[in-house]
């Protein structure tokens, strides 16, 4: 068991996942401190050291997440997603602290014709994915005790995401086109937060994939959202190639979550359940 006075430091704690994780930890009685811009910069070694010294467990949700922006701001993305993560690992090793780091499905190229397992070879197709993979690798090289949790298609109340973007578009446009060739699992940050909390007592090491159960296209996900909200919108399917974007996107984001299911020894909710709950909250 993890004692309730365990001190949890959440880096990037004001973001979509960080906010929901902090709420989950507080609900379970943990001593939680969140660190984020502008007061806290993960690239600042001194701030990192001070933060790690005051915590028993560190969760790193801090990241440069603008996928298209990373194509032109590759150096900044690398500083945040890779260099800082490697430095975090070195400091955590010196302090003998366990660290959980959030990564992404974008470390894969999406060309596999089955769900991805943790041991599949990463091959990112854009600069964001490359910086996130570099972060995983530098963390591994640091030698600290750590767990990497790869998540995908996340949405929550405290940030921009596919769900909120779809709703905004449907309010402005009568016809909405959505790609039907990107497949994955919509995953609520509230669900990710609960899983991270359940990992604290176990302090596992290595890489784990987590996403809601079941797979769906972006188009089918949009249809589900509009149907549940009874929004009158003309939804049309299209292909990823029909959109011009700075960064390439992986088409297959399906995760095989057997490893984390075995560790937690419990089932993962189908994607429809948390998404419907989220839409009711909106």
Q: Which of 78, 128, 155, 197 is catalytic?
A: 128
Nearest to 253 by CA among 201, 200, 181, 205: 181
User: At which residue do the structure tokens 């509230």 appear?
Assistant: 190
Neighbours of 201 (CB within 10 A): 10
Half-sphere exposure of 98 (CA within 13 A, CB side): 17
Contact between 149 and 98 under an 8 Å Cβ cutoff? The reply is no
SS3 label, residue 188: strand
Contact between 147 and 100 under an 8 Å Cβ cutoff? The reply is yes
How far is 248 from 227, CA to CA, in rounded Å?
29
Phi, psi of 187 (to 5 degrees): -135, 120
Does 128 qualify as catalytic in the annotation?
yes
Q: For helices 218-228 and 162-172, give the axis angle rounded to 10 degrees.
A: 60
Task: Just list the catalytic residues.
Answer: 128
């Amino acid at each position: 068991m993890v004692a309730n006075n365990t001190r949890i430091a959440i880096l990037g704690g004001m973001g979509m996942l960080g906010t929901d994780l902090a709420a989950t930890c507080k609900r379970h009685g943990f001593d939680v401190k969140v660190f984020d811009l502008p007061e806290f910069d993960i690239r600042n070694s001194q701030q990192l050291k001070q933060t790690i010294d005051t915590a028993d467990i560190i969760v790193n949700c801090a990241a440069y997440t603008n996928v298209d922006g990373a194509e032109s701001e590759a150096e900044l993305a690398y500083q945040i997603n890779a260099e800082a993560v490697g430095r975090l690992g070195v400091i955590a090793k010196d302090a003998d602290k366990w660290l959980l780091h959030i990564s992404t499905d974008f470390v894969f190229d999406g060309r596999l014709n089955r769900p991805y397992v943790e041991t599949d070879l990463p091959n990112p197709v854009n600069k964001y994915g490359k910086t996130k993979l570099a972060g995983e690798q530098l963390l591994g090289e640091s030698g600290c005790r750590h767990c990497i949790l790869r998540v995908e298609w996340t949405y929550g109340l405290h940030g921009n995401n596919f769900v909120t973007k779809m709703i905004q578009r449907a309010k402005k446009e009568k016809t909405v086109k959505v790609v039907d060739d990107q497949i994955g699992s919509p995953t609520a940050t509230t669900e990710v937060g609960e899983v991270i909390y359940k990992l604290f007592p176990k302090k596992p090491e290595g890489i784990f994939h987590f996403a809601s159960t079941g797979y769906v296209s972006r188009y089918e996900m949009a249809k589900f959202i509009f149907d549940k909200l009874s929004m009158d919108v003309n939804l049309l399917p299209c292909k990823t190639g029909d959109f011009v974007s700075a960064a390439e996107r992986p088409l297959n984001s399906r995760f095989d979550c057997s490893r984390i299911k075995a560790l937690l020894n419990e089932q993962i909710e189908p994607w429809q359940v948390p998404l419907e709950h989220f839409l009711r909250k909106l």
